[in-house]
Amino acid sequence: MIPGKYFIENDTLWLAKDLLGKYLYSNTDEYGPCAGIITETEAYMGISDRASHAYGNKRTRRTEIMFQPGGVAYIYLCYGIHHLFNIVTSQQDSPHAVLIRAVKPASGIENFSQRLKKKVPLLLNGPGKLTKAMGITTAQNGISLESNKIWLADFKVKVPSNLIQSGPRIGVDYAGEDAMLPYRFLITDTSFLKQYSYDVLS
């Protein structure tokens, strides 16, 4: 299990890249545990980032969790339908976060498909789709990522830096110039992703 201090002590942009290839686990409901390899992230850089919910040091009931020390979950409802999962990063009162936008299903494939009620795609791309498949909802907002509900692990998947694409974040047009910052990181190389077949851990 990746310890909380990893999320507290490292720079958020660095983390957004370093999290590619890490394993995200969840075990939150009756469908049981599952894991995916993170393949896409976005960094949200705190009070000066106009795309961030905490822009301008805005502390509200919703954003309060982002002001916690790194290593907790920030999960909120988007468009009334989709539960979006973020990892809070940086120190207390420095409200940074990394949004997880895609994972490669790795273990517990049956559990993914039962939640989706359909065949599991090779790549769970889309921040709302992956939370649905993994059983992550706002019910877990604020929980520690050292808990037995949601946690991360490092199996030393080495992502070659030339395979990491970056670009502007999705759906943040309201952020003015900050919408153009290259804070989105993803792996698109299909041959790389194919190395990791289902149930690599079982």
Partner DNA sequence: CGCAGGATGGGCT
Partner DNA sequence: GCCCATCCTGCGG
Helices (H), the chain: 4-9, 12-18, 109-116, 127-134, 190-194
In the set 129, 157, 193, 196, which binds DNA (CB under 7 A)? Answer: 129
Using the rule CB under 7 A, give the single segment among 14-22, 71-79, 145-153, 181-189 that binds DNA.
Answer: 71-79
Question: b vs e for 67-96, b when ≥16 Cβ sit within 10 Å of the residue's Cβ?
Answer: bbbbbbbbbbeeeeeebbbbbbbbeeebbb
Q: How far is CA 67 from CA 39, 57, 70, in A?
A: 26, 9, 8
**Measured from the CB atom, is 167 or 171 closer to DNA?**
171
- In whole angstroms, what is the distance from residue 155 CA to residue 175 CA? 36
Smaller CB distance to DNA: residue 168 or 200?
168
Joined together, the tokens standing for residue 194 give: 């194919």
- Asked if 79 interacts with DNA (CB under 7 A), we say yes
Does residue 86 touch DNA according to CB under 7 A? yes
Q: What is the CA 136 to chain-centroid distance, rounded?
A: 11
- Taking CB under 7 A as the rule, does residue 50 contact DNA? no
- 81 vs 161, which CB is nearer to DNA? 81
SS3 80: coil
Could you give the string, one character per residue 13-42, with x where binding to DNA holds by CB under 7 A and - elsewhere?
-----------------------------x
Q: Is the Cα dihedral 13, 54, 23, 114 positive or negative?
A: negative
Report strand pairing: 124-125 vs 150-153: unpaired
Closer residue to DNA (CB): 69 or 128: 128
If one asks whether residue 47 binds DNA (CB under 7 A), the answer comes out as no
**Stretch of 17-25, 45-53, 155-163, 182-190 lying at the interface with DNA (CB under 7 A):** 45-53
Q: Which of residues 93-122 bind DNA (CB under 7 A)?
A: 97, 99
Return residues touching DNA (CB under 7 A). Answer: 42, 44, 51-53, 58, 60-63, 74, 76-82, 84, 86, 97, 99, 126-130, 132, 169-172, 174
